Structure 1
Amino acid sequence: MKDEQHNAFQGLLTFDESLLYSSGHFSSRNELISCIVAMLHGVEVLTYLPTLYLYKDDFKISPALLTFILGLIRLPLNSKLLLAFMSDSVPIFGSRRKSYLAIGSFICFSSMFVLGLLNESYSIVLTTLLFALCSLGSALCSVIGEALVIECAYKQSTDQVTKTISTFYTFRKLTFAAMSYLSSVLMMIIKKREIFMISSSLPFCVFFTSFFIQEKPFGYYLTIKEQYNRLVSFASKPEIKNPSIFLFISMIVPSAGTAMFYFMTERLHFQPEIFGRFSAFQAIASLFGIYCYLLFFRNISIRRLFVWTTYLVAAFCSLSIVLVKRWNVVLGIPDKAFAITDTSLIQFIGEMNSFPIYVMATRLCPRGIESSMYSFLWTVQFLGMDISTYISSGLTHLFGIQSHNFKGLVPMIVVCAAAQLIPNFFVSLLPKELPTVQMDDDVTATIDEAEEEGQGNEIQAGSEIYVYKFCILVVSFYKNLVQV
């Protein structure tokens, strides 16, 4: 009787497991975990406003010093390429993904938890150090999450890869939307330190799920030197070099965003809550942009799609003139409604503009340097964004825009909107179509042979399957959302 019950129970488990993996979106355990890692982005979003007010009100520092400290806090994010090298080349306890994700999430969790325990009497140095540690842990988790997405994309068609990446970014955007608005609401009802304590729950969830990553033991590991040489060699190929140059060019385009922020706060008197609402609507618009591409535009040429979406982005950027000139009031449109609509439209089109590039990068990335290759592309993007910030700052000074002087804001918006069209002159650097096969080399073949020798040694789960099923239930609502 007990044997029959045991067999029936095992059959039920098998049935449940087949349901879990039958979806085209959650085809593996690692893909689900990558979605949970994507939600870790919510820590930065949830703590952004409390961090600003913590330094401004509690430590009473100047805006210039606050800007400098925020730069120090974000400094570890620039180490993603180094962290990716370590993850791909230096396994810990035989693991290239699980151990690094556990370490990164634990660093992020512990730093946020300690920040929640501290009171206002602690020094600004200790507080800044804890924030920087959280950024370091978040960067490490991001590296592993992106590597898991790429690994899940192996042996998949281009359509399947697109769905895999859209799933990852959907969880990131949903978390961004929820946390953006939640942060502004919590600021009005609880203390800042309590928000830090609440935010520590997200990295704890990632730490908990990191132990369920499935990895095959590698018989061959690249050294850091070998990996660096391979990355340089691979990035020098036209298929990667040209899109990377194009990505850099598209990122250095200046923006009037900071000047508009001053205009909205000083002239329109927008409160922090409305900026949380802005971020939430932008994240939702970005999500719609991803799925519009997935449903309607994934078979269109990358070049053609980018050119037309760039024209639309430039047009929507110029709509800020309507807000500055207050023409929206003449039309009977409230300032907040117009600002939210404008920024959401820009985000919606911008997501369709950039998403195919990341799909292409995932298809081209060879095995063994998943983290390094993707982090290299992010480094290119961050470098372009930094240069864009400096150019925007120079334009702000050139047009004489101050906290109470916005006479030069309209000309600056016109210049920035026109600059959005610059990448169209370099669109030939992009391939005409998304690649249908992965780019490999001799090292990839060596890795494949080593993996075949270790076939059957895949890390198995025993009692952990029950916890994993619980994690599935937490995100099961998403299955209906992403049905295509």
Structure 2
Amino acid sequence: MAAPDTTPTKTLRHAAIVIVAGILATTLAQTEVLARLPLQNLIKNDLHLDRAANAAFFFWAGLAWYLKPFFGVVTDAFPLFGSRRKGYLIVGAALASLSWVAMIFTPRDYAHLLAVAIVLNVFMVICSTVIGGYMVETAQATAGSGRLTAIRQFVQQACSIFVGPLSGFLASVAFAWTAGASAMVVAVLIPVTILFLHERTLRISPTEVFGNARTQLRNIASARTMWGAAGLMALFYLAPGFGTAMFYRQQNDLHMTTQMQGFLGLIAGICGVSAALAYGLLCRKLNLRTLLIVSMSAGTVANLGYLFYSSWERAQVIDGLNGVGFTLAELALMDLAVRATPAGSEGLGFALMVSVRNFALFGTDWFGSVLIEKYGVSMETLIWANSLTTAITVPLVLLLPAAVVGRRDAEAAAVAGAPVAAVGEAKERARF
């Protein structure tokens, strides 16, 4: 008798190890995560700049994240050292780590810090794009989009559990500690990639390389489902943001220390982990359309809680509820992004949809800060505008095709009836 085929389990296990390490590295070591409170505090209290300048720093620092589709084309179509994933991860992680070291010696002024942050994020985006493409192709080959998306979000939220207090502490000490810690975190991705990410060596001519790039662009241009999903994500996130403005309210009005702000991140992280665990179970019982409606509605309702953000006690409850609501919405939208990405263009397609989210999220935060600083718009008005805009997108879920959102997680494998290895080989031929 033939031995049982354990390829799906083994594939998911190895993918989970690489994805967990990749998400840890590309989440924690971003300027917007572990370093966000230290940088916000530095810009506000050392450089004495307003909300708009503070939010603008993070918007421009993340410039490469809005150009993520470009990196998707490069990594999908141009192998590095005969590799579409492994080579890019090793080189990107090494250069990102070195960039954080360079941040230690950067003069403490707005322009120099911003310039290094922009360069740093280029290498972070390379790593993130590769991890995203690897996750998508593995999820599609094993019909595990919900589970792998839940793992991704679980790790991100788990990061918040200790990032909050740690970031709050780092904001109270020399910035070199923040840069050094971030450099070590992203460097961990190098040995994990070497040990657990295995690829066949690709040998292609320069003519084939440019042909691959053209194929990727044609594939994406004709992917109507992917564009519909990207449009839904853009509308959900395209609302006046108030993240930076809330940071100033916490310090100026509620007199919170950076440690207290970090503790709020801890609460949100714990609640977010709970939401990720719940989603990992629900995705196998409910179809994605139902999950999208429920999760996006939960995110909208939780957002309205910030209308009552007037004390330390209320802040803990509201940030906890938002940790659940926003995490559920993010999970469902990322699950949609994974399913809607066309096979053979995993890096580019997923990067395109994620870049829509990044641009909207950080751009609207800057926009919201400008509305407060220059036009005197109240925080409450921003909260209402944000919540109403996201609420409008919920009924649009009904317009998404049933082929994408009408099934539960793991159902595709039973329908396809093909072993994972065969699916993977077919995708390789489609790419090259």
410, 416, 421: which is aligned to 2:386? 416
Secondary structure at the residue paired with 1:62?
coil
Note closer, same or farther for the CA distance 1:162–1:177 as it changes in structure 2 (3 Å cut): same
Q: Which residue of 2 aligns with 1:295?
A: 281
Letter in 2 for 1:184: G
Q: Which residue of 1 aligns with 2:66?
A: 78
128, 140, 143: which is aligned to 2:126? 140
- Check whether the contact 2:291–2:332 (CA below 8 A) recurs between aligned residues: no
Q: Which residue of 2 aligns with 1:153?
A: 139
- Check whether the contact 1:80–1:143 (CA below 8 A) recurs between aligned residues: yes
Q: Which residue of 2 aligns with 1:109?
A: 97
Structure 2 stretches lacking a partner, 5+ long: 1-5, 417-421
Q: Which residue of 2 aligns with 1:165?
A: 149
- Check whether the contact 2:309–2:318 (CA below 8 A) recurs between aligned residues: no
Letter in 1 for 2:192: T
Is 1:209 matched with 2:192? yes
Note closer, same or farther for the CA distance 1:42–1:242 as it changes in structure 2 (3 Å cut): same
Q: Which residue of 2 aligns with 1:34?
A: 19
Letter in 2 for 1:424: V
The structural deviation recorded for 1:111 is: 1.4
Secondary structure at the residue paired with 1:172?
helix
307, 314, 325: which is aligned to 1:321? 307
Letter in 1 for 2:160: F
Q: Between Structure 1 and Structure 2, how many residues are aligned?
A: 406
Q: Which residue of 2 aligns with 1:448?
A: 425
- Check whether the contact 1:281–1:340 (CA below 8 A) recurs between aligned residues: yes
Secondary structure at the residue paired with 1:270?
coil
The structural deviation recorded for 1:219 is: 6.1
User: Could you state the TM-score of these two structures normalised by the residue count of structure 1?
Assistant: 0.73
Note closer, same or farther for the CA distance 1:162–1:269 as it changes in structure 2 (3 Å cut): same
Higher relative contact order (CA 8 A, sep 6+): 2
Q: Which residue of 2 aligns with 1:271?
A: 257
Is 1:198 matched with 2:181? yes
The structural deviation recorded for 1:283 is: 2.4
Q: Deviations over 1:310-367 (max 9, x none)?
A: 444333333333334xxxxxxxxxx223212112212312222332332233234344
Note closer, same or farther for the CA distance 1:224–1:347 as it changes in structure 2 (3 Å cut): farther
- Check whether the contact 1:220–1:450 (CA below 8 A) recurs between aligned residues: no
- Check whether the contact 1:115–1:127 (CA below 8 A) recurs between aligned residues: yes
Note closer, same or farther for the CA distance 1:251–1:437 as it changes in structure 2 (3 Å cut): same
Q: Deviations over 1:409-450 (max 9, x none)?
A: 44543443333321124222334435554999xxxx999369
Is 1:178 matched with 2:148? no
Q: Which residue of 1 aligns with 2:293?
A: 307
Note closer, same or farther for the CA distance 1:266–1:66 as it changes in structure 2 (3 Å cut): closer
Q: Which residue of 1 aligns with 2:396?
A: 426
Structure 1 stretches lacking a partner, 5+ long: 1-20, 325-334, 402-407, 453-484
Higher helix content, 1 or 2 = 2
Letter in 2 for 1:52: Q
Secondary structure at the residue paired with 1:39?
helix
35, 55, 58: which is aligned to 1:47? 35
Separation (CA, whole Å) in 1 of partners of 2:86 and 2:164: 29
User: Could you state the TM-score of these two structures normalised by the residue count of structure 2?
Assistant: 0.81
Note closer, same or farther for the CA distance 1:268–1:50 as it changes in structure 2 (3 Å cut): closer
Is 1:362 matched with 2:338? yes
**Bigger radius of gyration, 1 or 2?**
1
Identity %: 17
79, 90, 96: which is aligned to 1:91? 79
Separation (CA, whole Å) in 2 of partners of 1:395 and 1:71: 16
- Check whether the contact 2:12–2:142 (CA below 8 A) recurs between aligned residues: no
Give the alignment's Cα RMSD to 1 decimal. Answer: 3.5
Secondary structure at the residue paired with 2:141?
coil
The structural deviation recorded for 1:386 is: 5.1
171, 180, 183: which is aligned to 1:187? 171
Q: Which residue of 1 aligns with 2:3?
A: none
Q: Which residue of 2 aligns with 1:462?
A: none
Note closer, same or farther for the CA distance 1:136–1:177 as it changes in structure 2 (3 Å cut): farther
- Check whether the contact 1:217–1:451 (CA below 8 A) recurs between aligned residues: no
Note closer, same or farther for the CA distance 1:88–1:410 as it changes in structure 2 (3 Å cut): closer
1:220-231 pair list within 5 angstroms: 223-224=209-210, 226-231=212-217
Letter in 1 for 2:64: P
- Check whether the contact 1:46–1:183 (CA below 8 A) recurs between aligned residues: yes
Note closer, same or farther for the CA distance 1:180–1:448 as it changes in structure 2 (3 Å cut): same
